[in-house]
Amino acid sequence: MSPLRIIVAGAGGRMGAANIAAAARHDEVDLVGALDRPGSAAIGKDAGTLAGLDPMGVLVGDSIDALLEGADAIIDFTAPAASVALAREAAARGLVHVIGTTGCSAADDAAIAEAGRSGARIVKSGNFSPGMVALTVLVEKAAAALADYDVEILEMHHNLKVDAPSGTALMLGEAAARGRNITLADHSVRVRDGHTGPREAGTIGFATLRGGNVIGDHMVILAGPSERIELNHRAQDRTIYANGALKAALWAAGQKPGLYSMADVLGLSD
Ligand SMILES: NC(=O)C1=CN([C@@H]2O[C@H](COP(=O)(O)OP(=O)(O)OC[C@H]3O[C@@H](n4cnc5c(N)ncnc54)[C@H](OP(=O)(O)O)[C@@H]3O)[C@@H](O)[C@H]2O)C=CC1
Ligand SMILES: O=C(O)C1=N[C@H](C(=O)O)C[C@H](O)C1
């Protein structure tokens, strides 16, 4: 089978470098383009150089139209507005679109879902590591089994992260809410400050820490009377996300248009 021709969007970013390096390691994909924001310092640079590798002969561009000709898939870890725009382009061309971008609003997510209904093969996940997808399965089961325990989700990331709570923390919150047959939006407590009063039973709490170069730490706590369960995940290298994103792209190439999750890719969805 010929390699999947991929474009890396956000090529100048932290995940852009990891995605370019992953593409260089995997024979099943061919990096045919690299994209960044108009005005970005990455424009015109070689993708390989940006990833700390030898030059790959792929220069970073800023025009979606020019780059998407001759591509099968977009690997996109950028920003919400860029991901929505790319999803529309993927729908118009019937492309695979792997979205790792977090911090999307409800309107952004609705636009991405619409692109999935209109021809794009989209895999979107707040976290592409297999360990994290497995953890969401455990959290759903634990929240169901310990239905009266308080669920709190703590995350820590590097000091350059711009959205909170992390996409992963929200994914874990959704898993706990599914386990309890409740809607996260109606039960989440994202911030506590001042005289909050006692904790409201049945809520799912979030706490956010930022500092240093932490790649991504998440802990789900189930606190009951006289005991506490802590489910932890610590990412040690961004390669784990990049490998997952490539796996998702290769899987989605064989699917019909739609919006899929990483649990679908790994065969863990119901
Ligand atoms: N789902 C997952 O597994 C993971 C998700 N993430 C998420 O991925 C996203 C990116 O993270 P990270 O790489 O650390 O962030 P960075 O800020 O390092 O990279 C983002 C890149 O996207 C570029 N960009 C912004 N707007 C556009 C645009 N319109 N078109 C093309 N490129 C654009 C930025 O350019 P410039 O800097 O010039 O603005 C930058 O190069 C975040 O939302 C993060 O939460 C991160 C890790 C794992
Ligand atoms: O911004 C990051 O770095 C990360 N973002 C994702 C998130 O918001 O959960 C995934 C990972 O935790 C790293």
18-69 confidence digits (pLDDT tens): 999 999 999 999 999 999 999 999 999 999 999 999 999 999 999 988 888 8
- The beta strands (E) that lie in 84-138 are given as 96-99, 121-124
Strands 96-99 and 60-61, bridge-based pairing? unpaired
Q: Please, how many CA atoms are within 13 Å of residue 113, restricted to the half-sphere of its CB?
A: 7
**Which ligand 2 atom sits nearest the alpha carbon of residue 216?**
12
List beta partners, residue 124: 99
Token pair belonging to 30: 């061919």
For residue 73, which of 225, 267, 252 has the smallest C-alpha distance? 252
Is 161 among the catalytic positions?
yes
Closest ligand to C-alpha of residue 125 is: 1
**What strands lie across the sheet with 227-234, from one edge to the other?**
188-189, 204-210, 150-157, 217-224, 227-234
110 pLDDT more than 90: yes
Ligand 1 pocket residue status of 210, Cβ below 6 Å: no
Mean predicted confidence (pLDDT) in 184-208: 98
Q: How far is the CA of 164 from the centre of ligand 2 (A)?
A: 10
| Residue 30: other Cβ atoms inside 10 A | 15
Q: How far is the CA of 87 from the centre of ligand 2 (A)?
A: 20
Question: What confidence tens digit (pLDDT) does each residue in 151-162 have?
Answer: 999 999 999 999
